[in-house]
């Protein structure tokens, strides 16, 4: 009898230990019509692009993550889009604990850091495919603007995208695969990237992207999200009643109109990751100071001066002080209810 009790106690302790050590069930992200769904519930992206680079640096650093997540939760943000895979599990754990999901962007040639060129991205997908912070995998960022990276033949890039989408589908059946395409894809992109589950578009059409939704409806029946859209808070010249210099009002007005356009077309689009969460001082000059200027492709559509002042795009500044756009976005994101929208 004592032996039986001992065996029973050992078995019970073992089972309890296994239960404690188990991860919660992996959430399943799927596509239904034009919708993203998480565990079969509609999921609408209310996001920001997130690349936390501190003053004086040119490298991403998650030192401010706790502060940043608190600000994001306050603003009603449910999704982050990062420009390279997050290696640190502790970072993903904190993001998940905050109730936020991540779009993981995978680059082509990142010196072997989980990139497409070396196929090392496969290792990352295998490692984190069961982490519930992951919303989807995103292949590249505006690479269609750079055929010179592929010997002048953009077909090579599209072939890489489709091959990677197929490879990820074989490994991970719980997360869709996308790309961040600069503007609307052409017929070549559509014909060569058939294994993508949805498309992210980087869209800079002043403060009025409304025409794009009808264009997309005619071109594709797959889900769409804006992987980038937005405005900076610096005016290089006086225009449209906005004065030259730092102008948070211009940014907040433009961002508000863009977000409203997305929300009004929720039956055709699955949300956006506004560019961006914080100012980045490394882009246009001395990383110790905030410089005007910088370069970005297709930037003539940046409101309201057609100039991409690359270091002024945050809804918070580099010290995490809230800009006007933060408060406007907070009201929009927190008040948006997908159930009240017309959806497919």
Beta bridge mates, 81? 49, 103
Please report the pLDDT score of residue 4 as a whole number: 45
E strands, the chain, in order: 29-32, 35-38, 41-43, 45-49, 79-82, 101-106, 134-141, 177-182, 199-202, 224-228, 234-235, 245-246, 271-274
Q: What is the pTM of this model?
A: 0.92
pLDDT at 3 over 80: no
Give the model's pLDDT for residue 341: 82
| pLDDT value at residue 130 | 98
Which pLDDT does position 24 carry in this prediction? 63
* Percent of residues, the chain, with pLDDT higher than 90: 88
User: pLDDT value at position 300?
Assistant: 82
The predicted structure's pLDDT at residue 90: 98
The predicted-structure confidence for 281-310, as pLDDT tens digits, reads as follows 999 999 999 999 988 887 789 999 999 999
Mean of the per-residue pLDDT values of the chain:
93
pLDDT tens, position by position, 93-140: 999 999 999 999 999 999 999 999 999 999 999 999 999 999 999 999
Q: How far apart are CA 267 and CA 31, in angstroms?
A: 14
Q: Rounded CA gap, 108 and 154, in Å?
A: 13
Residue 222 has pLDDT above 50, yes or no: yes
Q: Nearest-CA neighbor of 232 among 49, 85, 66, 71?
A: 49
For domain 36-338, is the CATH number 3.40.50.300?
no
State the average pLDDT over residues 64-77: 98
pLDDT for 343 equals 52
pLDDT attached to residue 15? 41
pLDDT value for 231? 97
pLDDT over 50 (residue 14): no
Q: What is the pLDDT of residues 146-171, one digit of tens each?
A: 999 999 999 999 999 999 999 999 99
Mean pLDDT of 261-266: 98
Q: Are 64 and 86 in contact (CB under 8 A)?
A: no
Instruction: Please give the Cα distance from 113 to 123 (Å, whole number).
Output: 10
What share of the chain has pLDDT > 70, as a percent? Answer: 92
What's 317's DSSP letter?
Answer: -
């Amino acid at each position: 009898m004592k032996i039986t009790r001992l065996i029973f106690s050992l078995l019970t302790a073992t089972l309890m230990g296994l239960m404690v050590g188990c991860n919660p069930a992996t959430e399943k992200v799927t596509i239904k019509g034009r919708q993203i769904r998480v565990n079969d519930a509609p999921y609408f992206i209310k996001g920001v692009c997130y690349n936390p680079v501190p003053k004086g640096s040119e490298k991403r650093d998650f030192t401010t993550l706790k502060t940043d997540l608190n600000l994001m939760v306050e603003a009603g943000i449910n999704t982050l889009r990062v420009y390279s895979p997050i290696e640190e599990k502790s970072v993903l754990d904190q993001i998940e604990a905050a109730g936020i999901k991540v779009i993981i962007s995978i680059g082509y040639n990142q010196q072997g850091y989980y990139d497409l060129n070396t196929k090392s991205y496969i290792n990352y997908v295998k490692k984190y495919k069961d982490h519930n912070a992951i919303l989807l995998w995103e292949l590249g960022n505006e690479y269609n603007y750079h055929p010179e990276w592929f010997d002048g033949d953009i077909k090579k890039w599209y072939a890489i995208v489709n091959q990677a989408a197929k490879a990820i589908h074989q490994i991970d059946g719980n997360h869709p695969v996308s790309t961040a395409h600069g503007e609307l894809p052409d017929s070549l992109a559509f014909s060569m990237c058939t294994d993508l589950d949805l498309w992210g578009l980087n869209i800079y059409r002043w403060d009025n992207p409304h025409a794009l939704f009808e264009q997309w409806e005619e071109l594709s029946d797959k889900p769409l999200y804006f992987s980038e859209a937005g405005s900076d808070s610096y005016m290089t010249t006086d225009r449209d009643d906005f004065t030259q210099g730092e102008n948070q009002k211009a940014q907040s007005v433009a961002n508000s109109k863009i977000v409203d356009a997305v929300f009004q077309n929720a039956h055709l689009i699955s949300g956006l990751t506004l560019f961006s969460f914080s100012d980045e001082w490394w882009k246009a000059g001395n990383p110790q100071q905030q410089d005007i200027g910088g370069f970005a492709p297709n930037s003539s559509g940046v409101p309201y001066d057609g100039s991409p002042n690359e270091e002024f795009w945050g809804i918070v500044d580099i010290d995490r002080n809230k800009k006007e756009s933060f408060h406007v976005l907070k009201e929009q994101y927190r008040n948006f209810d997908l159930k009240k929208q017309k959806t497919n």
